[in-house]
Chains A and B, each alone.
Chain A
Amino acid sequence: MQTVSSAKQTARLAAICLICALLAPWALADDAEPTQRMLTFNGFGTLGVAHSSEHRADYTFDNLQPKGAGRSSDWSPEVDTRLGGQLTANFTPQWSAVLQVVSEYRWNNTYDPFVSWANVKYAFTPDFSVRVGRIALASFLESDSRRVGYSNITARPPIEVYRLLALKESDGIDAVYRTHFDGMTNSTTVLFGKRTVTNTRGIDVHSTHVAGLFDTLEFGATTLHGAYQVRNVDNQAPSLGRFMSLGISHDPGNWFMASEWVKAVNFDGKGVRVDRLGWYINGGVRIGNFSPYATWSELLPTTPTGTTPAGQRTLAPGVRWDLAHNVDLKLQYDMVRLADQSYGTLQNVKAGTPKGGKVNVLSLVADFVF
């Protein structure tokens, strides 16, 4: 099963590479006219290592990573390292298409590339468009750019919050409507689709009837974001999963802050309702090319489930250094406090490891875009 899907993926990737190669001469043809190129290729990536003080368990970004820092490796490249390439085609002012392929550490212990987005967009007006294909879910403030480290301040999005929804894309359709009033821009997105995510046990988790309403309000340096999403998940009984989030970011230049509140309501296989709440606040200043920052984030299980509720909170100071054109370097120190009687978000916990306590994680990452 695994071999088949991996062969399929390789074939798909080969096809994409061939298309890129055939279209490359086009992409290079630069017009003197100030029009967008028909084809643009952009790339992004992160090289990172993370070190954890807890050697009896793994610190991972989310539960789709089978191994991480701590038990599996002393300095883990798996947590943050990735490479992505994106082809954007502007056929006409109305028709455009996006194809994004990403290689990152995955459920099957490989970096096999996969298609993260592939959609075609038709813009009825500059402010109203419809997309069909594989589309990023705008569930979080930074969800659509979570893989592009260069566009974010911190080493990685706060894991207590961003792990609450493993579903990052959906195959289907969405419509975006943008309005302008009093110097504000509001974008409303309605989405419908489905998507299958494979977990670290190799089990395909099917999400169907994924429906979402997302809203982003931008004025000056401030962005407000809200999301409400429902879906049917086949490993839950009842199958309904709900997700909601509210976020704010403010970035006037010399300083910046962001905060997000997220709630996920799901059921386990036995019909027990599991409510999880996550939130964070991040802030920092810009001093020349250095941006020191700190993030406080917390994951709270809000309903007793019978099993051990995973809770933890983290204080993570760090610094981003824009050291060269298109390249940044980040150093971050996560001080994780596990909830009593909990392993928090730790994975691969060795039997006999005491619950609760503290874990410190040191991360060094380099992000680039091209």
Chain B
Amino acid sequence: MMTPRTSALLLSAALALIQRPVWADIVVIVSPHNPTVSLTVEQAGDIFLGRMATFPNGSEAIPIDQNEGTPARGAFYQKSIGKAPPQMKAYWARMIFTGRGQPPVESGDDAAIKRLVASNPKLIGYIDKSALDSTVKPVLNLH
């Protein structure tokens, strides 16, 4: 016998198959003082996965994350690396418990990320495209 709860679960699982979440447009940003002009999706992905610690010109790159649960964070990782939040969690669990790395520091929402990135050329972040202004430089668009 299938309980209503089980049916609901199965139904939501089936719906998840059909319904792809609609993600917002995301821009990857650096400080205007950073010489980087553009990044490829792979380069941005490698920096946020901790595989790469530098910008293409060789200068130090420190990625910063939006807080867990923000729409921009989910959209960024889905579009750049193709991983949903639980998969990113599993990825970092593996990295942390092998001593190979720590996830980017959680640094707030669009406004907080912009503020931090604007003044520090080492930082790289991502924000919703609608929040983009001249205080930061976009280096990659993710549609």
Contacts and interface: CB of A to CB of B under 8 A. Distances in A.
A288 interface: yes
A253 B87 CA distance: 8
B143 interface: no
Contact of A287 (B13, B82, B99): B13
B86 A136 contact: no
B93 A90 contact: no
A253 B86 CA distance: 11
Interface residues of B, number: 36
Contacts of A136: 98-99
Contacts of B123: 34
A240 B98 CA distance: 28
Given A98-B99, A151-B93, A290-B13, A34 B105 contact: yes
Given A145-B93, A252-B82, A326-B89, A88 B13 contact: no
A222 interface: no
Contacts, number: 95
A86 to B, nearest CB: 6
A218 B51 contact: yes
A185 B47 CA distance: 11
B53 interface: yes
Contacts of B83: 253
Contacts of B16: 287-289
B109 to A, nearest CB: 13
Given A288-B12, A288-B17, A34 B64 contact: yes
Interface string A34-54: 111000101010000000000
Q: Which are the 8 A-B pairs with shortest beta-carbon distances?
A: A288-B16, A126-B53, A253-B82, A144-B98, A151-B94, A98-B99, A322-B86, A151-B93
Interface of A: 34-36, 40, 42, 44, 84, 86, 88, 90, 98, 100, 117, 119, 121, 126-127, 131, 136, 144-145, 147-148, 150-152, 178, 180, 183, 185, 218, 220-221, 251-253, 286-290, 322, 325-326, 328, 369
